[in-house]
Chain A
């Protein structure tokens, strides 16, 4: 991991890995969604709406995965001062927020025909909404730190503290009464029939690759912005002052 903290080494890897992850992710996720939409039978209880599973579950995992990536990168930045770790945390924020928003929106659409309501203020939905607000706060904080030249340690500490919400989201359906179903997939156990489970696993794989590709693209964009800024600043410092060129005293 330490080896890839070098921006040059990171770029040599990310240059070919970014399109590979994006295209591979799009193909696998697209195939899994087509599979779920067209070839999976309707569920005994949920009927046709079970097809929303193939979007909702990967989005929920990647929303939580996005914050976990922020927390791990923030820890690496605070402990080892990796120059790319803070960048990786920032890069994971927008896709993490986007997948959290997709999870909440698809969940709400799914809730109407299955629960009879668009929204309930229960533990799972509320903690997921809190995660979305944490993403917004992190993005604003990281942008402000960059703009004002404040230490990147502040968003990194916020990224670590916000990780408290991840186990709360995970255990919310166990700790509190909820309309949301209890966990269907746990370590080594599945309550989901193979007809739904296989395309679901492909959807999770495809969306995860896509997420990785977006994070790499964001890291490359943020790194290129910093390099361009640094180069322009250096040029401005090297350029002779106006008075010196014209011989004005």
Chain B
């Protein structure tokens, strides 16, 4: 018996993974940059 594959399940899984991963990476890079620049500015003021 052949298993029935719904092609949309694969499309949705790929998009969820790809878009989620990309957004997570961009958000992490931005947050790390803001945090590091705040730390540098605080060190300048000390």
A residues sitting closer than 8 Å to B (CB atoms) are 18, 22, 26, 29, 33, 37, 47-49, 51-52, 55-56, 59, 94-95, 98, 101-102, 105-106, 109-110, 112-113, 207, 210, 213-214, 217-218, 220-222, 224-225, 227-228, 231-232, 235
Contacts and interface: CB of A to CB of B under 8 A. Distances in A.
Interface in B2-40: 5, 7-8, 10-11, 13-15, 17-19, 21-22, 25-26, 29-30, 32-33, 35-37, 39-40
A47 B7 contact: yes
Interface of B: 5, 7-8, 10-11, 13-15, 17-19, 21-22, 25-26, 29-30, 32-33, 35-37, 39-40, 42-44, 46
A95 B21 contact: no
A214 to B, nearest CB: 5
A184 to B, nearest CB: 18
Contacts of A231: 40, 43-44, 46
Contacts, number: 107
Please name the 5 residue pairs, one residue from A and one from B, whose CB atoms are nearest each other, closest first: A224-B36, A55-B18, A48-B7, A224-B40, A217-B29
Given A49-B7, A220-B37, A221-B32, A98 B15 contact: no
B46 to A, nearest CB: 6
A220 B33 contact: yes
Given A217-B29, A228-B40, 20 more contacts: A33-B15, A47-B7, A52-B14, A95-B25, A102-B17, A102-B21, A109-B10, A110-B14, A112-B5, A213-B29, A217-B32, A217-B33, A218-B33, A221-B32, A221-B36, A224-B33, A224-B40, A227-B40, A228-B39, A235-B46
Contact of B7 (A56, A94, A101, A113): A113
Contacts of B7: 47-49, 113
Contact of B14 (A22, A29, A109, A218): A109
Contact of B11 (A48, A214, A227, A235): A48
B36 A52 contact: no
Contacts of B25: 94-95, 98, 214
A232 B29 CA distance: 24
Contact of B18 (A94, A106, A217): A106
A105 B10 CA distance: 11
A109 B11 CA distance: 8
B1 to A, nearest CB: 15
Nearest to A214: B29
Nearest to A26: B26
